[in-house]
Amino acid sequence: MTAQPRRPKSKHVHKPRAEELTLTIEKVDEDGLGVATHEGKRVVVFDALPGEQVVARVAHTGRHRIIASTHRVLQPSRERVAKTSCPHYRSCQGCALLSWKYPAQLECKSQRVADALATYPELYDVELGDVWAAPETLGYRASAKLVVARKRGKGQVGMYRRGSHDVVDIADCPLHHPLINRVAAVVREELDRRNVSAYDSNHRRGLLRYLLVRVSPSHDKAMVTFVTSERNYREVTHLAKWLQRKVPEVISVHQNVNSSTGNVIYGRETFRVLGTPDLIDQVGDVRLRLGPTSFLQVHHVQAARIYRLVRDWCDLQSGESALDLYCGVGGISLHLASQAHQVLGIESVAEAVRHAQANASMNGFKNCKFVSGDAEEILADDLPLTGKLGAVVVNPPRSGCAPQVLAAIAAMQPRTLVYVSCHPDSLARDLALLVAQGFRVEKVQPVDMFPQTPHVENVARLKFVGVSQPVQRSEAKPTKRK
């Protein structure tokens, strides 16, 4: 019997086709993902609007939850746009509301805040303003943290795909300021031209980990920071010189060294490579000096509106001082300084405090003092604050304030408390605690700081009225809307 010739093995590995589910979307979750039910399991679906019927491809099946992404829309919502503005939308999945019409995005965010407040009976009567729409819904991000990688020999500069460490190469993000996209394009080009090694987290080797770009929209200048796995003067200096040659708007280049194996972006040491040590920016009524690791809101127009609202709501009277907790580089503090007898800012990041002090001097304010340290510990001591305390402002991280901080503020009995928050749930929790300690919440004003994403900023105004009888918990009622 003649042996049959063996067929050559295929060079391509055929992956099994992902399971597809036909779903009716019931609502969206806090991440802007559609929610449906399949065989008793909760299904979260990227790119799915409430009321839509979609065919979704399953990415992961867990014990109680299925993660999927819309493959085809069978019955589209009237709030779905005809075409998204980003070719990377489905692969990156960083902007969950990009396929929504903008008024629908605002309504979604408004309902998100209302639901958070309605969790607490103490907040039933809080007035909730309409979300302040952003005048710029694209190209608004003035800072970006981009991942550097290499795939099949090609340099990649982009974002991690949602829920993974797979880097999506993004050539032109529609949310980023155009100068950020120009910088990213030049760095990607130089990665290939010079064959610069990118960090590989699996093998824990390679040089370049992240590209951080901060832009001053008012001056059209940029600061760039290369995060590397080790101190490397030669390679980073070549990158910096090439970048400044191709993008002359880059006036400052730094290197941050992060040798850890974790997911944190910044290491402890930062070195200036070329150009100026800081970037000067204008937000609202003040000029701000920013360093490579300084925090500042990404949407400058909306940040300016928040700063002015905080100043108006504090309404400082003659001889009154203000306390600004989690003050960062002093954006809110400096807006209060024109009305205050004194402003005391407290911030845990020492570099931010140095910049806040420099910013007060640059803007001509001599009535500002900034202290570095933990807010809870500093509030436990005698504060270096002169004048009568008229207002306290808090702008904490996403997790909100520690209960001890809220108790310390209540003990001061300021006439006004203004709470700036980037997370509705932690805000609602802290507002309920403050009500129990003698404050009345007068209004919450949502601000769309992050168009095309589910995130929403909020500013709350509280007045100290003294401790009253505790509210009896009962069935939740909807929060009043303006």
> How do residues 66-117 score in pLDDT, each as one tens digit?
999 999 999 999 999 999 989 999 899 999 999 999 999 999 999 999 999 9
Same domain as 454, residue 312 = yes
Q: Is 91 within the bounds of a domain?
A: no
User: Strands 269-275, 34-38: parallel, antiparallel or unpaired by DSSP?
Assistant: unpaired
Return the CATH number at 155. Answer: 2.40.50.1070
Q: Is 184 within the bounds of a domain?
A: yes
Please state, for a pLDDT cut of 70, what percent of the chain lies above it.
93
Same domain as 259, residue 155 = yes
Q: What is the DSSP string of 135-184?
A: S-SSS-B-EEEEEEEEETTEEEEEEEPTTSSPEEE-S--TTB-HHHHHHH
Same domain as 175, residue 121 = no
Distance of alpha carbon 458 from alpha carbon 82, whole angstroms: 30
Q: Is 240 within the bounds of a domain?
A: yes
Of 23-32, 355-364, 378-387, the least confident: 378-387
Q: Give me the residue label for tokens 């503090």.
A: 333
Give residue-wise pLDDT tens across range 263-312: 889 998 999 999 999 999 999 999 999 999 888 999 999 999 999 999 99
Same domain as 163, residue 245 = yes
Same domain as 149, residue 126 = no
Hey, is 104 helix, strand or coil? helix
Q: What is the DSSP string of 227-268?
A: EESS--HHHHHHHHHHHHHH-TTEEEEEEEE---SSS----S
Same domain as 439, residue 362 = yes
Average pLDDT over residues 388-404: 96
Q: Tell which wins on pLDDT, 8 or 387.
A: 387
| DSSP β-bridge partners for residue 263 | none
Q: Six-digit token pair at 434? A: 């403050």
Q: Is 191 within the bounds of a domain?
A: yes
Instruction: Count the domains in the chain.
Output: 3
Please state, for a pLDDT cut of 90, what percent of the chain lies above it.
79
Query: Which residue in 345, 243, 242, 257 sits closest to 293, CA to CA?
Result: 257
Query: Which residue in 114, 84, 144, 44 sits closest to 477, CA to CA?
Result: 114
Same domain as 125, residue 233 = no
**Residue 368 is among the residues annotated as catalytic for this protein:** no
Q: Is 106 within the bounds of a domain?
A: no
Q: Is 382 within the bounds of a domain?
A: yes
Is-contact 69 120, C-beta < 8 A? Answer: no
pLDDT at 2 over 70: no
Same domain as 442, residue 307 = yes
Same domain as 341, residue 322 = yes
Distance of alpha carbon 137 from alpha carbon 98, whole angstroms: 10
Same domain as 245, residue 306 = no
Of 6-20, 264-278, 427-441, 459-473, the least confident: 6-20
Radius of gyration of the CA atoms of the chain, in A: 25
Query: What is the predicted pLDDT for the residue at 6?
Result: 57
Cβ partners under 8 Å of residue 273, min gap 6: 226, 236, 237, 240, 253, 254, 255
Same domain as 147, residue 217 = yes
Is-contact 444 126, C-beta < 8 A? Answer: yes
Q: Is 97 within the bounds of a domain?
A: no
Q: What is the DSSP string of 399-446?
A: T---HHHHHHHHHH--SEEEEEES-HHHHHHHHHHHHHTTEEEEEEEE
Same domain as 459, residue 323 = yes
Average pLDDT over residues 447-475: 82
Structural domain boundaries enclosing 178: 143-277
The number of beta carbons lying within 10 Å of the beta carbon of residue 130 is 12
Active-site residue, from 92, 108, 327, 422 = 422
Return the CATH number at 453. Answer: 3.40.50.150
Summary mean pLDDT of the chain: 91
Q: Is 470 within the bounds of a domain?
A: no
**Running DSSP on this structure, what letter comes out for residue 450?**
S
Query: What is the predicted pLDDT for the residue at 194?
Result: 83
pLDDT at 10 over 60: no
